Each structure stands twice: as C-alpha cells, then as structure tokens.
Amino acid sequence: MNYLSTRGDKTPRKFCEILLEGLAPDGGLYLPEAYPQVDDATLTRWRKVYRDQGYAELAFEILSLYIDDIAADDLRAICQKTYTAEVFGTGEIVPLRHLEDGKDGGGLWLEALSNGPTLAFKDMAMQLLGNLFEYELARRGETLNILGATSGDTGSAAEYAMRGKQGVRVFMTSPKGRMSPFQQAQMFSLMDANIFNIAIEGVFDDCQDIVKAVSNDLAFKRQYKIGTVNSINWARLLAQVVYYFAGYLQATTANAEKVSFTVPSGNFGNVCAGHVARMMGLPIDQLVVATNENDVLDEFFRTGVYRVRGSADTHETSSPSMDISKASNFERFVFDLLGRDGARTRDLFGAQLSTQGKFDLGTDPAFQDAATRYGFKSGKSTHADRLATIKDTYDRHGVMIDTHTADGVKVAQAYRRPGVPMIVLETALPIKFAATVQEALGIEPERPPKFIGIEDLPRRVIDLPADAAAVQAFIAKSCA
C-alpha cells in the first residue's frame, strides 16, 4: 500500500513514512493510492472476528489493509495494547446505546466513543497514534516534535496519549479563552516535561494555519523533526475508520442491511473516516454532517460553495470544538469528488482559497455526486436547538448528552429513513461542557472521580500571538 498527495505529488510513500510526516511536501494531505475493497465474505468474517475477539482484533484486520511496513505480529500487539477495557472503561470499547425505535426496524442509536482517558472521541485514534509513534521512533532511533492545533478535544487526547512517551515532545496550540473550563484544565494542568501548551491569541483556524505554515516550512520541519497529530495525519483518520465498521456490525445482523451515520463535524476529520469506510464497501446509506452556527460544511453540501470565514466571523458557541471555519480534512473528500484530480484540488485549496477565500462547485456535475454517489447530507444546529435536544433526550430516554452530540441528534432527526438504523456518533461526555448541560437540565453532569477539582490545579501554559514565527521560536528554544 502506497500513499499519494491530494495536490498531485504521486511519489510512492509507505505508511510509516507518512505517519511521522503529516502534510505532504506539496502542502497536500495523504490518501492511499486506492481504497481496499471489503467484499461480502470479508465483512462476514469480520462480523465473527468482532463478536468473538473484540474491537482490537477488528482494528488489526482493518489497519492491516493499509499498513504493510509493520510486521503483522507487531501491529496486532499495538492494537491489543491500545484498545483495552482498562483504557476505555468497557470491553466493548464503542458500545451502541439505543435511543428510540423507528419505522420498520430503523431506530436511533448513539455510538459511545467517549470512554477513553479524556472523555472524548479523539481518544479512539490518539491512543493508537501514541503507540504507533513510540514503536516507529524506537525502531528508527529518532525523536519527533509534534505540533498540533486544538479547538478543545484533540489537544487533551494527544497530550494524554503522548505524555511520558519516549522520543516525543508535544507542542499544542489552542485558541486562548475559547475552550470550556474543563477542556482547558485537562490540558494546562499536565506537568509532564514533554508536554508544551501554547494559547494563541485568536481562534482555532489561526492555530490550524500556524500548524500548516510550520509544516510547509520544509527546512524547519526537517531540522526539528516536526510531525502532526491533527486529523491531517492519515494514521489518525485511519484509526477512526474502525469504529464505523464496529457500529455497523452492532446495528445489523446481515450484510444486506444498511445504516446511516450522523457526525458532529467542524474539521471534517471524523466524518471523512466514514467516507473512507463507505468507499471501502461498508453498507452506509447516508453520511450526515451536523454543524453548529459555524456552518461552512453545511453551506457546501447545500449549495456547492465552500467559503471560509475569518476570525471575526467565527462564532463562539456552546459546542466549541466545532467552532471551525476552515475544515482542513475536507480536501481529502474534494479530491475524491473531483476524480482524484490533484492539479484541480491544488488550485481550489491553494490558489482560489488564498486569493478569494472560497470556491464554488455548485454548477459542477461532480457536486451532485456528494449526495447521490457519496451519500452526504448536512444540517446545522443552534444553541437553542442544543438546549432543547439535551432536555428532550434526557426527559424521554434518561440519557444525558453533551452539546456536540446534541447537534448530531438534532440534525439526525431530519434524515431518518424507515428500516435504516441512524447512528449518531457521540463526541464527548457531558461534564466537558457542564455549564450548557446545566442550563438545559438544571443539574450538574456526573464527573469521573479522577477529574474532581481539576479546574483548581496549577497550570503550565504560555500565551503567544497568532504568528507562526513566534511558535517556531518557542519550539527551537524548547528543543535547545
């Protein structure tokens, strides 16, 4: 299995090479040369594997299709080390929770993805990424400086996965004051010597721009061995593909059945993993993108216009992890949508976005494929919607959900179909966004014992302007 860039660089690269590299040298994102196809016999076998041997073995089976430069026994051991009941709180790892029945056996379900160390779905991939990094760096005898951007959950998931790992430092940027108090406390209270928190004076998109700018400075990247943990890193997105298969296998009994997924999405990484699973042959009917008031993705799927917003036009909402107006992973889907035309993808995401701040595929025949061929639908949710959905879900089903999951549940209702289970991907536990949940319900969400008093712990964080050079100088100083 070789990998190529969405912007036209077809130099063949193996998995472990792109694992440590992040962005491609031409500024594009890596994708496999072709998606492995899962036939009926394989899906039947995986159904038995998942039932009898569990999530870790299913992960090994799927990852093996994309990774041929790690020995099978080693890859299986990495999966078994990652996906344990001790780390994820349950042997099922990603159990489905039934919310309500639908017509002709459909129904609405939640897939629990927030049982990991930081109580958010990002743990599902980040725990694997940490173990992959440690394995490959040890094999090479090298070190890696990870530069990341977070709107809330990626940062803590990365830091908890990488803390104490040999050969790894983490430099995590976040928008100053824009995360929930719990999210800030999770990150900034870590005192590990290899963890560095950087609060950027701006919004998440500023943080993401800094990561891309530093990654595109090839001389600096090579000198300081810069890697990424954001979903621009293919390995992280690949890990997320697994839970789409796991959700499908739990919701169905036969391969002829289809399911739909609704995914709260800001950066398009989570739902892009669903796109990959569908391209592999997983019987997904619809992939529903749920946004908050920062609706750049919903606007595209409705109109064909992809229009990024500036900092001043990026709303600060009660589902802050989706306060994003530049969906970096979206490039991967558009590359597929345009028949894998690297030159055209480079023009759209390079020249047009930098000069015009948008591009328009509304009259392009390919745009119709977004829904008809690739199954994409979309919708948006507001603060009032979140409050109403959190209350309704708790009152009718006795289930407390966080604000981002509420965006998903709200949007999912518009796309339910008879006979097709609708699975909403849970994104975090309610305690991470306690103020809004309390506003909706009048009660405080349950707090796991290990996080009691976390907001009162000492903090280790540095404030920097939204300037790539300032971040580079801090990295250089910290590595001296």
- Which is the catalytic residue, given 10, 14, 122, 377? 122
Residue 232 scores a pLDDT above 90: no
User: φ, ψ for residue 313 (rounded to 5)?
Assistant: -105, 10
Answer whether 217's CB lies under 8 Å from 472's CB: yes
> What's the mean pLDDT in 34-59?
98
What integer pLDDT is reported at residue 104 of this predicted model?
Answer: 77
Lowest mean pLDDT among 100-109, 251-260, 408-417, 430-439: 100-109
What integer pLDDT is reported at residue 23 of this predicted model?
Answer: 85
What integer pLDDT is reported at residue 228 of this predicted model?
Answer: 85
Residue 284 scores a pLDDT above 90: yes
Residue 152 scores a pLDDT above 90: no
Domains and CATH numbers, the chain: 93-119+235-441 (3.40.50.1100)
Query: In this predicted model, what pLDDT tens digit does every residue of 99-116 receive, in sequence order?
Result: 999 877 789 999 999 999
Distances (CA, A) of 468 to 159, 197, 447: 21, 15, 37
> What's the mean pLDDT in 19-28?
89
Active site residue 122: yes
Which residues neighbour 448 within 8 Å (Cβ) at sequence distance 6 or greater?
119, 429, 431
Query: In this predicted model, what pLDDT tens digit does every residue of 308-323 receive, in sequence order?
Result: 998 889 999 999 999 9
Q: What is the mean pLDDT of the chain?
A: 95
Answer whether 30's CB lies under 8 Å from 3's CB: yes
Look at strands 3-5 and 30-32 and give their pairing: antiparallel
What integer pLDDT is reported at residue 153 of this predicted model?
Answer: 85
What integer pLDDT is reported at residue 164 of this predicted model?
Answer: 86
pLDDT band for 229, please (50, 70, 90 cuts).
confident
pTM tops 0.85: yes
Residue 166 scores a pLDDT above 90: no
Which residues partner with 287 through β-bridges?
261, 376
What integer pLDDT is reported at residue 21 of this predicted model?
Answer: 82
- Cα angle, residue 336 at apex, residues 352 and 261 outer, rounded to 5°: 110
